[in-house]
Amino acid sequence: MKFKNKKILLIIGGGIAAYKALDLIRLLKKHNNEVKSILTKSGREFVTPLSITTLTKNKTFEDVFDKDTDAEIDHISLSRWADIIIVLPTTANFMTKLSLGKAEDLATTVILASNKDILLVPAMNVRMWIHKATQKNVKTLLDYGYLFLGPEKGEMACGEYGEGKMSSPKKIFSYLENYFNKRNLIKKRRIKALVTAGPTREYLDPVRYISNESSGKQGYEIAQALSRLGIKTTLITGPSNLIFKKEIKTKNIVTANEMFEEVKKSLPVEIAVCAAAVSDFKPLKISKNKLRKEDLATNSIRLGKNIDIVEYLGKNNRYRPKLVVGFAAETENLNKNAVAKLREKNCDLIIANDVSKKDSGFNSDYNRVSIFDGSGKIQVIKKNKKSFIANKIAEIILKKLLVNDRSFN
């Protein structure tokens, strides 16, 4: 379905493909969308504010210290106004500025101050694109949550052939069509999710506890990714050093029991992602006072089982979420154990991560995962940032949830 009445903020950078921004503006306007634009200093070398303003029927913004704008602060108001921000073309230089978090002109300041999704549409010579510095920037920007479209392979304006060609305005338009349709559907269906994250602590006495190495990062990144898709997400997390964004409703808990209570309170939801490393056992007795060395030396600690939250959700008759996603942290027989867990707990998806490797998994910014559903392995994601993996998982979840909805693809 074609989208309309959307507010698009177009940032036009200093590349030869800048002229294609004019075609995109025409396409967006033809379908009754409003377009405002920011032209970078180098962008002005390629297209004129006059052409842009003629097509958008709006002022072309250029200067962060614009004296013509009354009381409004452009870098804030432009970002709040937009439904999405597109940078076209995104030059190699512009990506470097974004990676560094620069706010040196109107375009970069708007982006840094933005609370909206930002779509980067790169265009550059193939050597510029494959340069290690540019590829490092791409990774950083993906980690920051920027969206990318292209570049594609093809013949470039400089006459060379390779990856670096900007996606066509038509392709950008279809991307936006899909983007807005997905969000409309999520909004219409009022999709809610709960995500558990982090470790739990099971106390022996006021100062000692049993816990594990989980940092809460993967769960937090998934909560962010779902939330960015417009899904109303509640994050239930054990003790963690992470700083959680205010936009995500976060419930802090300490023990597995507390996590279970919060999970029950958050139902019903359509999606439950259980990324927390919940302690399987807890000391049967919690001493009111700090145990003395002698007590600990002579007594063994008696343990009892904690409730299995994933299983509770998977087998919940009354409020079973449509999708229950479990995690399997394994050090051996990863695939076999993950599939067994999926069946045992009646999950729809299992994300298996190999925690035997020192450079990923628990307490790391990186992960490597295999994703299984009832029919077998559906995707393997090699070592990558947890934020990147979270976006992939969120996409798979959404696809699975909306698989029968015709307006979604």
Ligand X SMILES: Cc1cc2nc3c(=O)[nH]c(=O)nc-3n(C[C@H](O)[C@H](O)[C@H](O)COP(=O)(O)O)c2cc1C
Residues that bind ligand X (CB under 6 A): 13-17, 40, 42-43, 89, 91-94, 123-124, 128
Burial of residue 102, with CB atoms counted within 10 A of its CB: 0-12 exposed, 13-18 middle, 19 or more buried:
middle
* Residue of 395, 393, 275, 259 lying closest to 327 (CA atoms): 275
C-beta of 17 vs 396, nearer to ligand X:
17
- Residue 254 main-chain phi, psi, to 5 deg: -120, -50
C-alpha 58, offset from chain centre: 32
Q: How far is the CB of 80 from ligand X (least distance, A)?
A: 23
C-beta of 40 vs 56, nearer to ligand X:
40
Q: How far is the CB of 101 from ligand X (least distance, A)?
A: 15
274 is catalytic: no
Q: CB-based contacts of 333: which residues, under 8 Å, 6+ apart?
A: none
C-beta of 88 vs 325, nearer to ligand X:
88
Asked if 56 contacts 36 with a C-beta cutoff of 8 angstroms, the reply is: yes
Q: How far is the CB of 108 from ligand X (least distance, A)?
A: 8
Kind of pairing between the strands at 209-210 and 202-203: antiparallel
C-beta of 40 vs 79, nearer to ligand X:
40
Q: How far is the CB of 53 from ligand X (least distance, A)?
A: 19
C-beta of 89 vs 361, nearer to ligand X:
89
DSSP string, 269-338: -SEEEE--B--SEEES---SSPPPHHHHHHPPPPEEEPP-HHHHHHT-TTT--SEEEEEEEESSSHHHHH
Q: How far is the CB of 77 from ligand X (least distance, A)?
A: 21
* Residue of 295, 115, 284 lying closest to 204 (CA atoms): 284
> Which residue of the set 73, 100, 158, 378 is catalytic?
158
- The catalytic residue positions are 158
